[in-house]
Structure 1
Amino acid sequence: MSIAPCWAVGSSSSGTSPRSSPVIIAQSGPALGEALPHVMHTLRACLQPSRDPQMRLKLFSILSTMLPRAADTIDSHGQLPSYLEMVTKDILAPNLQWHAGRTAAAIRTAAVSCLWVLTSGEVLSAKQIQDVQETLMPQVLTTLEEDSQMTRLISCRIINTFLKTLGSMIDLDKLKIYPELLKHLDDVSNDVRMAAASTLVTWLQCVKNVDGKAYCQSSVQCLYRELLVHLDDPESAIQDAILEVLKEGSALFPDLLVRETEAVIHKHCSATYCEQLLQHVQAMPATQ
């Protein structure tokens, strides 16, 4: 079965219009992979910011449900990764840009959801996720500021995936993103706060694995200080999460962390978490 003729955007011979594209995508199943060149070029045409917002929202919503089963739909022939540059630069990047209005915000949420499914599944290799990161990290950092709790949560998770994939290959400039994560330890959503804490754990793992850690000392010191404030949070789940972040970062500059902790322990409502942290640092092997 071939669906290629259906993808001629605006073609009178096909009898279809761009508005029919969501229906075609939703109903085509594995045939999407067979006609992937036509599918991708139609998606690129239909998902430009100048096109009908409701159509774009519908297409992204369909894609976000289709990508988890990509092998049975859009990637049935294993060719989707070859269109990665088009997906990131021509489809996702323009739709992650901020535009006013509720529909525009919903489109950004749908686009972020598609990006999350794409990067968290088995469609892309680690190297391909690194390529996506190179293109889309700035836009994802921007979506951390969305009003939508779901968008902020997914954005945190995507950044975590980006950092995990980069690992020791991260460059020092990219380590400067930590203030954007720190801000979301004050998020109104505890889910976002927990996701930000988890991403900071990954950030610290990256710092430990790069050359020139001394270059990051002032940043890590700032992080220690902010985390110690949150270690006195009213929510015990947040305190537990922050303690894990601090334990992860303790091997970097342990003496510095001890000094910072001892400077604030008397200000905390309870010294329990600070004491646990100090005990952890004292128990670390001297070679760390």
Structure 2
Amino acid sequence: VLANKQVAPFLDLVLVHVYKASADDEAVVSKGALQCAGMLGAFLDAEMVLALVSKHLGLKLEGGNSGRSGPGFDELWPQHKTGRQLTRTVQDVETAVKSFVAVSVENRRQVFSVMAHLLLPSGPNNPLACRALTQTEVRMVLRFSEEGILSDELLPWILGALQSLLHAGGQAAAAEWPRVFDLLLRMRSGEECPAALVDNNMDHLATLVGRSRRELYEEHLRRRLEDLLLGADAELWEERSPKRHVLETLLRNAGAAVSEHVPSLLPVLARQSSPEDASASARVDLLGLVHFLINEEDEALTEALRKHSSELLQGVLIPNCTWRAGQSNNKIRKGGMVCIHSLLRRHLVPASILNEAFVDLMPVLKACLDDSWSPDNRMIACLVMSCTMADLQAEINGEQLREIYPELLKRLDDSNDKIRVAVCEALACFFKCLPHNWSRTLFEYILRTLFVHLDDPNIEIQQGIYAVLESAVHQDYTTFAREAQTAALKSSHPRLCEELARLAESLRQASGEVNEKDVAMIMD
């Protein structure tokens, strides 16, 4: 009490000088200033000190006036630097100090740095030695932090203040955990603060609340996601807005709780990743988030994505896979195709929905298969084509297959052998989808092309083509045997052609099918 009475008249002046000294170029001076701040926090009433900090930050307390006016350090202690010489004007500033406001980012950093020591005089290594903050004092610090967090440049210093708050606030801070977690989430979603340090503070908060960090994420998602997504399905977030990064961090850490929010989430993802006006960085970030959600091994989330796969495929992924000029668009197209491949590989798109989307998906696949500048896009397009045909076996029709086969045959001449191997797998799926009465002329044309590539010098390609021909033999035994025998006469590997011809003949006989020679003999 005595200290409060004696120091109070001078505290405003002392604090401003401590702020200034804490940023001194001399490490001894700055360290001493922070030790002084710790002494002030240890002996003086916290609410009285925080009231002055509020004034120095230019914030309005209940029943007070907003103080966002007054001189900063540059006006109080003007200085001029010429080369290596620093000239500082020293003058009587006692009157001006009383109206000091930390307006610049540098000044506000100093205030938050000092406040961390005011709250926790003994430091984080000995938190039990400090006295506990009241609920009112905790709320004051949170108010300062919420105002300061609007500036990315202040985040590391606010994190230091929050760390002190959790140690000094204890259960009073736990009672305000949603606000504290909101601040920590903002720091965790950016690159300004070390992720491990933020996670440690989240774990500390979780311990105070009696939950795990994952449980805090899940509860926060349920409480705050609706507010975060409000209007985001219609209005594009500004590029500098932290909302996108906060959303991503929240969804990546909330686990199974995400599943119940998928219906409201997909329209927002579609709007914020729109190729028409969203930035390249926003589209990349959100496609990365979509890929993460698709590959999460959570049954509830998987079922929610399957239920809303049409909105995801048509609203988010296909628009971002459509060809647009520019290197960034090429990378985005690749990211979108990777997401579609994951979606199909995990069988999250029912065949009926995939069949409806085929008319929009096929132009995208054609463009990627013809992308001469990007082998990765051609490769992923082959994989997507394989998955599409595998999932559509029961529903795909002959006309759709007529559209597919020329694109696959062109890739057999690709300059990248890995793509040629991948397209062999796609062709094997193609033959499994063929209806029995499909065009014989086209079937013959495809077989002739495949037998030409059976002579490829690359053994892996030979084996791939041989497997494709084995899957093709079931379509029409007689036609296949005839084409194989014809190819054997011109092939550099006639043995392979003869083996396939014998396979076709044996399958024909086993099925009881009559070949053309038998028909001629019967007619005679």
User: Do the structures match in fold with TM over 0.5?
Assistant: yes
- State the match for 1:276 in structure 2: 499
Map 1:99-248 to 2 at 5 A: 99-146=324-371, 147-176=373-402, 177-207=404-434, 210=435, 212-213=437-438, 216-248=439-471
Q: 1:128 to 1:70 in 2, by over 3 A?
A: farther
Instruction: State yes or no: 1:95 paired with 2:95.
Output: no
Aligned equivalents of 2:252, 2:448: Cα separation in 1: 50
C-alpha separation in 1, matches of 2:297 and 2:324:
29
State how far apart, in whole Å, the 2-side matches of 1:116 and 1:283 are: 38
Distance 1:225 1:53, change over 3 A: same
Q: Which amino acid in structure 1 is aligned with residue 456 of structure 2?
A: D
The one of 221, 224, 229 equivalent to 1:7 is 229
TM-score relative to the length of structure 1 = 0.86
Identity of aligned residues (%): 23
**How high is the TM-score relative to the length of structure 2?**
0.49
SS at match of 1:155: helix
Tell me if 1:38 matches 2:38: no
Provide the residue aligned with 1:253 in structure 2: 476
Aligned residues: 280
Distance in 1 (CA, whole Å) between partners of 2:261 and 2:479 is 58
State the distance in 2 between where 1:124 and 1:191 align: 27
What displacement does 1:21 show?
4.2
Amino acid at match of 1:115: I
RMSD: 2.6
The structure number with the bigger radius of gyration is 2
Amino acid at match of 1:183: K
| Alpha-carbon offset, residue 41 of structure 1 | 2.1
Look up the SS of the partner of 2:298 in the other structure.
Answer: helix
One-letter amino acid matched to 1:284 = L
Counterpart-to-counterpart distance in 1, 2:391 and 2:262: 27
Q: Give the unaligned 5+ runs of structure 2.
A: 1-218, 514-524
Of the three residues 276, 283, 289, the one matched with 1:56 is 283
Give 1:263's aligned residue: 486
Q: Which fold has the larger relative contact order, with Cα–Cα distance below 8 Å and residues 6 or more apart in sequence?
A: 1
**Structure 1 gap ranges (5+):** none
The structure with more helix, counted as a fraction of residues: 1
Separation in 2, partners of 1:37, 1:119: 20
Distance 1:134 1:78 in 2: 25
Q: Distance in 2 between matches of 1:41 and 1:168?
A: 31
* Secondary structure of the corresponding residue to residue 263 of structure 1: helix
Distance 1:80 1:273, change over 3 A: same
Q: Deviations over 1:138-163 (max 9, x none)?
A: 32232222333232222222222221
Letter paired with 2:490: K
SS of the residue corresponding to residue 79 of structure 1 reads: helix
For residues 66 and 126 of structure 1, the distance between their equivalents in structure 2, rounded to whole angstroms, comes to: 21
Per-residue CA distance 1:30-72 (angstroms, 9 max, x = gap): 3332332332122011110121011101211232233111637
Q: Distance in 2 between matches of 1:193 and 1:92?
A: 26
The amino acid of 2:331's aligned partner reads: A
Secondary structure (helix, strand or coil) at the match of 1:167 reads coil
1:77–1:175: structure 2 CA closer, same or farther, 3 Å change rule? closer
Give the letter for the 2:332 counterpart: I
Farther-moved stretch of structure 1 (247-256 vs 47-56): 247-256
Letter of the 1:5 partner, please give it. D
Superimposed CA distance per residue, residues 232-251 of structure 1 (whole angstroms, 9 cap, x where no aligned partner): 00011111111121122223
Matching residue's letter, 2:416: S
> What secondary structure, in the 3-state scheme, does the structure 1 residue paired with 2:474 have?
coil
Kept after mapping to 2: 8 A contact 1:88/1:136: no
Counterpart pick for 1:76 among 301, 304, 322: 301
1:76 match: secondary structure = helix
Q: Assess if the C-alpha contact under 8 Å between 1:201 and 1:245 holds in 2.
A: yes
CA distance in 2, matches of 1:122, 1:270: 39
Give per-residue Cα distances to partners, 1:188-222, cap 9 Å, x unaligned: 22222122111111211221xx2533xx1111111
Q: Secondary structure at the match of 1:169?
A: coil
Structure 1 SS opposite 2:456: coil
Name the SS for the 1:99 alignment partner. coil
